[in-house]
Amino acid sequence: MSSANNAGMNPSRDDFAALLAESYGESEAFEGSVVKGHVVAIEKDVAVIDIGLKTEGRVPLKEFTGHGRDVAPVVGDEVEVYLERVENALGEAVISRDKARREESWVKLEKAFEAGERVEGVIFNQVKGGFTVDLDGAVAFLPRSQVDIRPIRDVTPLLGVPQPFQILKMDRRRGNIVVSRRTVLEESRAEQRHEIVANLEEGVTIEGVVKNITDYGAFVDLGGIDGLLHVTDIAWRRVNHPSEVLNIGQTVKVKIIKINHETHRISLGMKQLLDDPWQGIEAKYPIEARFHGRVTNITDYGAFVELEPGIEGLIHVSEMSWTKKNVHPGKIVSTSQEVDVQVLEVDSVKRRISLGLKQTLQNPWEAFAEKHPVGSDVEGEVKNKTEFGLFIGLDGDVDGMVHLSDLDWNRPGEQAIEDYKKGDVVHARVLDVDVEKERISLGVKQLGGDPFATASAGEDGDLKKGAIVTCEVLEVKDGGIEVKIVGSDLQAFIKRNELARDRADQRPDRFAVGEKVDARVTLFDRKARKVAVSIKALEVAEEKEAIAQYGSADSGASLGDILGAALKARETK
């Protein structure tokens, strides 16, 4: 058998393909390819298409008219379809117009993607995270963030409308395409902004429409490009929020303050169209002059007062009250309150005016000095106890201080202050008023007089060293006795070794509270405010006197006889 005959009986793979192609009449009619066909009939909602095979295929009409593209086909039209299967169970070819368009679109889209060109598409559905876009048969994903330059709530007006998109990503193997509408808008906007900015100049006055209002200012549409009108450039006066002056949609005249040609940012101003109220401010608001104003804003460090539209001054917290030093300004004044103020300082360069509120009120320390001169007596409540004295609340909401040394003539201040507690009403004498330093010195002990200044030894005259005094026992202690000199307010402490001449009698328990004893003054210093008395010194002095008066050791009289005679003479006297 010849080789030709063998070839005829056992065709190769290529021979079979050639025979199949000859049988179908067109070499392109293979499964998985796009083929041309003719519409031979329209039945209800499908088109019957002959693609040159022994069988015909059917395509739903919606595949021709979906998303506003092709019109419905009519009999005789030539169309391209995708051949999925040559023959199905019904003996018909399985074809698709959508897949044909998709295959064709992918080729075009890949070229556009590589060239960075825009493509046209139609948003037709909303999905999780964004929308689906028909790119002439190929379905792409449009993320929500890529829909517009600014977030938009309603995308209904964009649905079904052919519009340009930029392809961000393509993956044919997975069939993924990601597009952006925002990129197209930004490019168009940038081109438009560049052209508009090139025609604008700084210092020019222009009209615009308020497009948006924020806390820090307003965006004004200048005809295709926005400029920022900062809140501080709306008016010369304080504007807390732009909405106080502007409304969205309002037409305003603005001055172009600055243009950044690189970023296309434009700064606008409205107050620059008006005269600057700070010109000649020193002559208008001289130092120490008083004016009437309105509180516009309160901060932790003070309050701002509007003196006229566009002119504000600051009352620092230290200049708000004579007496309220550590309180928040909001507890002294309130917003919109009308107040009288005094000009303290004016700085036209920094546009600052320092004001004083307390200067318009009488100084409470001056008022106190006029009403309560030095030497007058006052009363007040103990506001505070400190380690160095008492603070007493006085008329005019001022405080006076009683130093420890001015509490008591006889006792140490640390001991005397324990007699007082917060809230006690205290009588005191005004010792000094320092208006400049805002200090008032008071004394409690001065109400009773100085016992050293009035001290005397009774009938024998003024108290002095060597004088004999009668003392009343106030307290008995282990180390001695506390006594008060009769006829004065002076107190002294007689130590144990000064209680008697004889050591056996130097016992504090020999004495009782209330008992009166005689003693000799051993120290009296008015300047140092010290006094000391001694029973022992008195006994020694009396002994010497008795010996001198009644005899000596040579007379033969005993010491007991001499002392007995002296005591008898003293008692008789």
DSSP string of 123-182, one letter each residue: EEEEETTEEEEEETTEEEEEEGGGS-SS--S--GGGBT--EEEEEEEEETTTTEEEEESH
User: What is residue 26's predicted lDDT score, i.e. its pLDDT?
Assistant: 43
Average pLDDT, the chain: 82
Helices (H) and strands (E) in the chain, counts: 11, 30
User: What is residue 191's predicted lDDT score, i.e. its pLDDT?
Assistant: 76
The model's pLDDT over 502-560, given as tens digits with 9 standing for 90+, comes to: 888 889 999 999 999 999 999 888 777 788 999 999 899 888 887 777 655 455 455 55
pTM above 0.75, yes or no: no
Superfamily of domain 200-273: Nucleic acid-binding proteins (2.40.50.140)
How confident is the model over 118-123, as a mean pLDDT? 91
Angle between helices 535-550 and 559-572 in degrees, nearest 10: 100
Separation of alpha carbons 276 and 269, rounded Å:
13
Distance of CA 137 to the CA centre of its chain: 58
DSSP string of 429-458, one letter each residue: EEEEEETTTTEEEEESGGGS--HHHH-B-G
Distance of CA 433 to the CA centre of its chain: 40
CATH topology of domain 364-447: OB fold (Dihydrolipoamide Acetyltransferase, E2P) (2.40.50)
Residues with Cβ < 8 Å from 445, sequence gap 6 or more? 406, 407, 408, 409
Helix, strand, or coil (residue 86): coil
User: What is residue 317's predicted lDDT score, i.e. its pLDDT?
Assistant: 93
Sketch the domain layout of the chain as residue ranges. 22-101, 116-186, 200-273, 284-360, 364-447, 451-555
CB half-sphere exposure, 507, CA atoms < 13 A? 4
- Is the domain covering 284-360 a CATH 2.40.50.140 domain? yes
Strand 265-269 vs strand 226-230: parallel, antiparallel, or unpaired?
parallel
CA distances from 533 to 228, 327, 342, 510, 546 (A): 92, 55, 64, 17, 21
Residues with Cβ < 8 Å from 510, sequence gap 6 or more? 499
Tokens linked to 384: 């505070």
Does residue 8 register a pLDDT over 50?
Answer: no
CATH number, domain 22-101, options 3.40.980.10, 2.40.50.140, 3.30.450.90, 3.40.640.10:
2.40.50.140
Least confident of 127-136, 255-264, 272-281: 255-264
User: What is residue 462's predicted lDDT score, i.e. its pLDDT?
Assistant: 63
How confident is the model over 144-155, as a mean pLDDT? 86
The model's pLDDT over 170-202, given as tens digits with 9 standing for 90+, comes to: 887 887 899 999 999 888 877 777 777 777 888
- Residue 421, classified by CB atoms within 10 Å of its CB into exposed (0-12), middle (13-18) or buried (19+), is exposed
CATH topology of domain 451-555: OB fold (Dihydrolipoamide Acetyltransferase, E2P) (2.40.50)
Task: With beta carbons less than 8 A apart as the criterion, state whether 58 and 34 touch.
Answer: no
Separation of alpha carbons 145 and 179, rounded Å:
11
Distance of CA 145 to the CA centre of its chain: 34
Least confident of 29-33, 243-247, 316-320, 350-354: 29-33
Strand 425-434 vs strand 439-443: parallel, antiparallel, or unpaired?
antiparallel
Report, in angstroms and rounded to the nearest whole number, the Rg of the chain calculated over CA atoms.
56
The model's pLDDT over 51-91, given as tens digits with 9 standing for 90+, comes to: 776 667 777 777 776 555 556 777 777 777 767 776 665 65
Instruction: Return the closest-CA partner of residue 239 out of 259, 210, 218, 222.
Output: 218
Residues with Cβ < 8 Å from 257, sequence gap 6 or more? 202, 233, 267, 268, 269, 272
**First-last CA distance in the chain:** 187
Least confident of 159-173, 195-209, 491-505: 195-209
Kindly state the helix (H) or strand (E) to which residue 309 belongs, with its residue range: none
User: What is residue 14's predicted lDDT score, i.e. its pLDDT?
Assistant: 53
- Residue 221, classified by CB atoms within 10 Å of its CB into exposed (0-12), middle (13-18) or buried (19+), is middle
Distance of CA 538 to the CA centre of its chain: 77
CATH topology of domain 116-186: OB fold (Dihydrolipoamide Acetyltransferase, E2P) (2.40.50)
Does residue 120 register a pLDDT over 80?
Answer: yes
Tokens linked to 16: 């079979």
How confident is the model over 380-385, as a mean pLDDT? 92
Could you tell me the pLDDT band of residue 458, with boundaries at 50, 70 and 90?
Answer: very low
Residue appearing with tokens 């100049």: 201
Task: With beta carbons less than 8 A apart as the criterion, state whether 435 and 363 touch.
Answer: yes
User: What is residue 457's predicted lDDT score, i.e. its pLDDT?
Assistant: 46
Separation of alpha carbons 202 and 192, rounded Å:
19
